[in-house]
């Protein structure tokens, strides 16, 4: 009630009063309904239930969904909800209605990538800027909703607060989300990332929130005390925390309440013994971490330490965000993603380690001297590298099957555009891999929709329900029976507006 009273006061002061509000309060204010003269109504479709982490199955057939001014105002059966006079009605008979999809971890550095996300039904992206994904393109239009993620507590050349480093601009066209010049020199890595002081980190969190950052990335150099403090402070401010820990033991971050553990190949580090963890405090980027990762990858899935770690994750708040799609081309039964219709929107030059357009496989480089030994030797060495990468991915997959047995919470994120993963397209391969891991299609769908509302308190998205943002997909077949059906999109609404999907392909 206190928040509601605050928002009522601010609504009388004008939009400028929002600047000092935490992101969560701004979100709540944005949910305030506005009167729309011409409502949009979806009639006859089945609203798919993605509540309770995908464990509920109370689908609503022959539904009426009313949208006003970008928000869902009414959802119910045709018998219970009246269609407003003068409304624009779209017949969805035989269709299945699901919320717009969320990619919880991806880059988006070009208009083509923005359009690919939308074409594949991804209406919200937790967007990261880094050396492999480039700067987030905030000038893209049309674009999914972007929830910015930024590193915190450590120097980082890609930190958004220092986005003017070296005269670079954040986005194409020279626009920027407002990087703070006073942070530019402070956040420069100078060849080696280092941890900021608690006082600097505290100011950084406040400034990042003011700039619009929604997610804080807790990286390799953060030590345990700072990690615990950042997680606590972030939650007080309504910010989400992602942990990719090295110097901090994963157990510490999990017990501190970190919200998500991203990327298979990273969070398995939580199984290492204390004698391998101790050197990481002083050497989180060097030889010690190579040894630690190698140990975690080669641990047998039946090992007691792994089962104990899996139970630790499942018994705490943290959700897993595996980004399996970064390993999709190294796992069995993959396909050439360049054959997807949305792939025509993508430029390999804007991707890190893209797959080969012709074969759909990752190419493995070898030293230039090898070319002197002839094509047969070259192919032999490339095949050797490919087999090694495939074996590594399969070992990690087997470990994740063991972790899944403890039933942790899952969120969907593609990790694109890295290692053959593709914006929009790879969010669907992520859903496929979650099902392959053992989730039901409904649980996988929830991982890309309402789980983000449950885990992060982002109550503006993830459901077809009153008060939620009108990001809606109508698909031609039941995605709870086969997750592939989530790709069969016949209608895309974003903020209550119909998006011309085929028109997106023409603007490549």
The pLDDT score that the predictor gives to residue 29 is 37
How far is residue 487 CA from its own chain's centroid?
A: 18
Residue pair 155/219 in contact (Cβ under 8 Å)? The answer is: no
- The reply to whether 134 falls in a domain is no
Cα torsion angle, 358, 359, 360, 363, sign: negative
Domain count across the chain:
1
Alpha carbon distances (Å) from 289 to 348, 351, 446, 494 = 30, 26, 34, 43
CA 111, distance to chain mean position in Å, is 18
pLDDT for the residue numbered 21: 41
Q: In this structure, are residues 120 and 424 in contact, taking their beta carbons and an 8 Å threshold?
A: yes
CATH number of the domain at 46, please. Answer: 2.30.40.10
Domain annotation covers residue 59: yes
Structural domain includes residue 345: no
Please report, for residues 58, 156, 253, 267, 444, the alpha-carbon distance to residue 413 in angstroms, rounded to integers and kept in the order given.
26, 23, 20, 15, 11
- The answer as to whether 150 is a domain residue is no
The whole model's pTM is what?
0.89
3 state DSSP class of 75: strand
102 is written with which tokens? 């969320």
In a domain, 75, yes or no: yes
Phi then psi for residue 24, to 5 deg, are -65, -40
Tokens matching residue 130: 């880094």
Please return the burial class of 372, using the count of CB atoms within 10 Å of its CB with bins 0-12, 13-18 and 19+. Answer: exposed
Q: Which domain holds residue 90?
A: 31-98+467-506
pLDDT at residue 448, as a whole number: 98
Decide if 266 is inside a domain.
Answer: no
Classify 168 in phi/psi space as left (phi over 0), alpha (psi -120 to 50) or beta. beta
What does the DSSP 8-state code read for residue 37?
S
Write out the two tokens for 131: 């050396």
Q: How do residues 117-126 score in pLDDT, each as one tens digit?
A: 999 999 999 9
35 falls within a domain: yes
Whether 70 is in a domain gets the answer: yes
Task: List, for the chain, all residue ranges whose pLDDT scores fall below the cut of 50.
Answer: 1-36, 164-177
Q: Are 97 and 76 in contact (CB under 8 A)?
A: no
């Amino acid at each position: 009630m206190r928040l509601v009273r605050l928002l009522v006061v601010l609504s009388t002061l004008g939009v400028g009063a929002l600047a000092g509000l935490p992101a969560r309060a701004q979100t709540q204010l944005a949910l305030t309904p506005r009167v729309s003269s011409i409502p949009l109504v979806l009639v006859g479709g089945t609203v798919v239930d993605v509540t309770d982490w995908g464990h509920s199955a109370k689908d609503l057939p022959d539904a009426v969904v009313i949208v006003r001014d970008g928000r869902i105002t009414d959802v119910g059966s045709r018998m219970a909800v009246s269609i407003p006079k003068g409304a624009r009605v779209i017949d969805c008979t035989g269709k299945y209605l699901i919320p717009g999809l969320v990619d919880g971890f991806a880059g988006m550095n070009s208009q083509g990538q923005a359009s690919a996300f939308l074409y594949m039904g991804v209406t919200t992206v937790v967007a990261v800027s880094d050396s492999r994904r480039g700067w987030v393109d905030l000038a893209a239009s049309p674009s999914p909703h972007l929830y910015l993620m930024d590193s915190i507590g450590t120097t980082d050349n890609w930190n958004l607060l220092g986005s003017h480093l070296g005269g670079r601009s954040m986005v194409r066209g020279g626009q920027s989300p407002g990087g703070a010049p006073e942070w530019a020199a402070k956040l420069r890595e100078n060849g080696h990332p280092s941890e900021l002081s608690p006082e600097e980190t505290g100011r950084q969190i406040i400034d990042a929130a003011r700039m619009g950052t929604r997610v804080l990335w807790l990286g390799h150099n953060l030590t345990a005390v700072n990690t615990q403090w950042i997680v606590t402070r972030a939650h007080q401010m309504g910010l989400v925390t992602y942990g990719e820990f090295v110097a901090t033991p994963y157990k510490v971050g999990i017990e501190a309440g970190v919200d998500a553990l991203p990327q298979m190949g990273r969070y398995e580090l939580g199984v290492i013994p204390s004698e391998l963890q101790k050197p990481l405090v002083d050497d989180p980027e060097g030889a010690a971490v190579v040894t630690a990762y190698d140990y975690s990858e080669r641990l047998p899935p039946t090992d007691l330490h792994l089962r104990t770690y899996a139970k630790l994750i499942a018994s705490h708040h943290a959700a897993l965000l595996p980004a399996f799609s970064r390993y999709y081309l190294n796992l069995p039964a993959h396909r050439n993603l360049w054959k997807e219709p949305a792939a025509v929107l993508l430029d390999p030059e804007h991707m890190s380690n893209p797959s080969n357009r012709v074969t759909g496989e990752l190419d493995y480089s070898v030293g230039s001297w090898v070319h002197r030994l002839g094509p047969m030797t070259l192919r032999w060495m490339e095949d050797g590298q490919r087999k090694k990468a495939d074996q590594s991915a399969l070992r990690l997959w087997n470990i994740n099957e063991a972790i899944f047995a403890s039933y942790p919470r899952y969120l969907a994120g593609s990790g694109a555009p890295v290692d053959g993963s593709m914006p929009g397209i790879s969010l669907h391969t992520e859903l496929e891999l979650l099902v392959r891991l053992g989730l039901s299609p409904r649980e996988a769908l929830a991982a890309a929709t309402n789980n983000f509302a449950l885990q992060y308190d982002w109550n503006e998205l993830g459901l077809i329900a009153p008060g939620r943002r009108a990001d809606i997909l109508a698909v031609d077949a039941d995605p709870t029976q086969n997750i592939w059906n989530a790709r069969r999109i016949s209608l895309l609404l974003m903020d209550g507006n119909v998006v011309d999907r085929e028109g997106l392909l023409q603007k490549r």
